[in-house]
């Protein structure tokens, strides 16, 4: 039985655990404000908030309900726009949308309102970038976005004094949320852990942001095991000189980790270009690796960090380099039933430089045409160690072994760059597809190598090389 709080009502349901939360909300709970748009996580019309008990408080985030299986909301608070409505007035979030004509046909509006409300509930200091980032996964066909940007700016003004430690209490006090929110920690605390024995050979599900798009019927009809419910699979910690990330850690948990961002300071600048805020709140690191998309951003980053992957099958653990994990298009060095436990990498020396580049047709909420990552150490103008990876240029996320080897011991100048590019071009085998022709992708990767080198050696950058 899956138990959760839906707005102010406790739900106990024996419905299919693979059913989408969106379908439950609209067709079982009769709450029609959450809209069905794309069912692929792209439009944000189905956005709801998910609250999770953390200590004595509930932390809220936005998710797309179309890609959330019911089993993943056990023990959580799910809030639809009906659940924030006040008796007679609009909430301040709804009011800024109306006052700025940021709603026209209204189809997208519940999604925007839930994303903005979730932003108000975050512990973030208000900023215009933060507000815009919060709706990076919401699409509107009518307004042209300028009015929505004005609504975001107004919202920032009115929440500038919010209590960053206890945003829920502040929002109830200031009429953004109904009073029942104050009782939610107690109600969630009373829900027992998921009592669910997964049959053997169940499909592991992380955030389900890939599975619900690629295999929705499989999730509905075959046994599933939510890895988020298993102990010890979440979190980021140090083990000696290694950084260890639990398999079920989400993209946004990576982004908000002070520990990880102290190791890779540019991570917070990179993550806004990966999926949308809603998807990052659900998508897990193991899901990105096991999905084995040749352009998976996190896999490309981890390859350049020379990461290792820990897996277990029937209690037997094994560890392998991530670069040996991919054996062919969507083929993995992973046995049936084997589970990813964690991913780890050696903490780069403070002298090393990390860089990630991604080229996609749209800046936000788009997958890469080509992406690439580098971790390198330098002494003076000489590269002393180097790991380069690239996506979208081969059937698998690719560690560029020969290119990485070649770079070690080299001084950066035009000759090294051209030779490295020649070696790199021989290591890749892009195909022409919807994201570009094979030749175009070869050219893109050459430019990304140049972008990496210009970050490593800005003083040596000569645009004439291009
Ligand atoms: C709108 C949208 C935008 C996106 N944008 C991007 C983007 O910009 N960049 C990008 O890289 N990706 C993007 N993605 C893809 C997706 O979000 C990521 O690949 C994500 O990391 C998948 O993680 P998940 O937890 O949701 O995986 P799931 O869908 O839960 O699982 C994916 C695969 O991993 C397996 N799996 C999950 N956990 C484990 C485990 N612990 N052990 C063994 N197997 C496991 C599942 O069985 C399944 O085969 C996007 C997706 C959507 C819907
Ligand atoms: S329906 Fe479009 S994101 Fe869910
Ligand atoms: S108001 Fe019509 S889609 Fe946004």
**Tens digits of residue pLDDT in 165-224:** 999 999 999 988 999 999 999 999 999 988 777 777 889 999 999 999 999 888 999 889
pLDDT of residue 237: 96
Architecture per CATH, 1-193: Roll (3.10)
pLDDT of residue 338: 95
Ligand 2 atom 3 nearest Cα:
41
Does residue 431 have its Cβ closer than 6 Å to ligand 2? no
| Position 463 pLDDT exceeds 80 | no
Ligand 1 atom 43 nearest Cα:
339
pLDDT of residue 232: 81
User: Are the C-beta atoms of 302 and 320 separated by less than 8 Å?
Assistant: no
| Position 325 pLDDT exceeds 60 | yes
Over residues 393-413, the mean pLDDT reads 95
Domains 1-193 and 230-465 share a fold: no
Looking at all shown ligands, the one closest to residue 361's CA atom is: 1
The domain over range 230-465 is classified in CATH as 3.40.190.10: no
pLDDT of residue 295: 96
| Position 225 pLDDT exceeds 80 | yes
pLDDT of residue 347: 97
pLDDT of residue 459: 75
In the reported structure, the alpha carbon of residue 454 is separated from the centroid of ligand 2 by a whole-number distance in angstroms of 39
- Ligand 3 nearest-atom number relative to CA 103: 1
Q: pLDDT digits over 50-80, tens only?
A: 999 999 999 999 999 999 999 999 999 999 9
Rounded to whole angstroms, the Cα distance separating 252 from 289 reads 16
Looking at all shown ligands, the one closest to residue 110's CA atom is: 3
Confidence class of residue 317 from pLDDT cuts 50, 70 and 90? very high
| Position 466 pLDDT exceeds 60 | no
| Position 464 pLDDT exceeds 70 | no
Looking at all shown ligands, the one closest to residue 373's CA atom is: 1
pLDDT of residue 451: 93
User: Would you list the domain boundaries of the chain?
Assistant: 1-193, 230-465
In the reported structure, the alpha carbon of residue 96 is separated from the centroid of ligand 1 by a whole-number distance in angstroms of 34
In the reported structure, the alpha carbon of residue 163 is separated from the centroid of ligand 2 by a whole-number distance in angstroms of 31
Percentage of the chain with pLDDT > 70?
98
| Position 465 pLDDT exceeds 80 | no
| Position 360 pLDDT exceeds 80 | yes
Confidence class of residue 462 from pLDDT cuts 50, 70 and 90? low
User: Are the C-beta atoms of 79 and 90 separated by less than 8 Å?
Assistant: no
pLDDT of residue 414: 86
């Amino acid at each position: 039985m899956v138990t959760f709080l839906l707005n102010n009502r406790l739900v106990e349901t024996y419905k299919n655990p693979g059913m989408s939360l969106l379908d439950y909300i609209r067709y079982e709970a009769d709450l029609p404000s959450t809209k069905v748009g794309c069912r692929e996580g792209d439009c944000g019309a189905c956005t709801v908030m998910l609250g999770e008990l953390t200590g004595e408080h509930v932390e809220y985030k936005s998710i797309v309900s179309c890609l959330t299986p019911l089993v993943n909301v056990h023990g959580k608070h799910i809030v639809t726009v009906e659940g924030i409505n006040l008796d007679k007035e609009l909430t301040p979030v709804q009011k800024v949308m109306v006052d700025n004509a940021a709603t026209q046909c209204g189809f997208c509006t519940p999604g925007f309102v839930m994303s903005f409300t979730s932003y108000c509930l975050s512990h973030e200091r208000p900023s215009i970038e933060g507000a815009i980032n919060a709706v990076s996964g919401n699409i509107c066909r009518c307004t042209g976005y300028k009015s929505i940007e004005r609504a975001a700016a107004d919202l920032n003004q009115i929440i500038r004094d919010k209590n960053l430690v206890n945003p829920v209490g502040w929002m109830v006090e200031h009429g953004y949320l109904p009073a029942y929110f104050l009782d939610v920690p107690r109600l969630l605390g009373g829900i027992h852990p998921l009592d669910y024995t997964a049959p053997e050979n169940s499909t592991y599900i992380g955030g389900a942001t890939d599975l619900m798009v690629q295999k929705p019927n499989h999730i509905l009809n075959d046994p599933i095991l939510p890895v988020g419910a298993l102990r010890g699979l979440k979190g980021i910690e140090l083990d000696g000189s290694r950084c260890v990330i639990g398999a079920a850690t989400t993209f946004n948990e990576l982004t908000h980790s002070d520990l990880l961002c102290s190791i890779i300071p540019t991570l917070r600048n990179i993550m806004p270009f990966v999926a949308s805020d809603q998807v990052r709140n659900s998508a897990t690191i193991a899901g990105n690796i096991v999905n084995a998309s040749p352009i998976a951003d996190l896999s490309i980053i981890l390859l350049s960090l020379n990461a290792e992957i820990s897996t277990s099958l029937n209690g037997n653990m094994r560890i392998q380099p991530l670069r040996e994990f991919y054996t062919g298009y969507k083929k993995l060095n992973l046995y049936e039933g084997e589970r990813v436990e964690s991913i780890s990498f050696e903490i780069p020396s403070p002298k090393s430089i990390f860089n990630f580049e991604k080229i996609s047709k749209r800046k936000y909420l788009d997958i890469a045409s080509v992406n690439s990552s580098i971790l390198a150490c330098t002494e003076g103008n000489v590269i002393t160690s180097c790991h380069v990876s690239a996506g979208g240029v081969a059937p698998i996320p690719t560690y560029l072994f020969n290119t990485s080897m070649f770079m070690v011991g080299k001084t950066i100048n035009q000759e090294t760059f051209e030779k490295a590019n020649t070696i790199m071009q021989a290591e890749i085998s892009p195909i022409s597809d919807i994201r570009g022709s094979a030749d175009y992708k070869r050219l893109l990767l050459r430019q990304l190598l140049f972008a990496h080198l210009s970050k490593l050696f800005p003083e040596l950058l000569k645009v004439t090389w291009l």
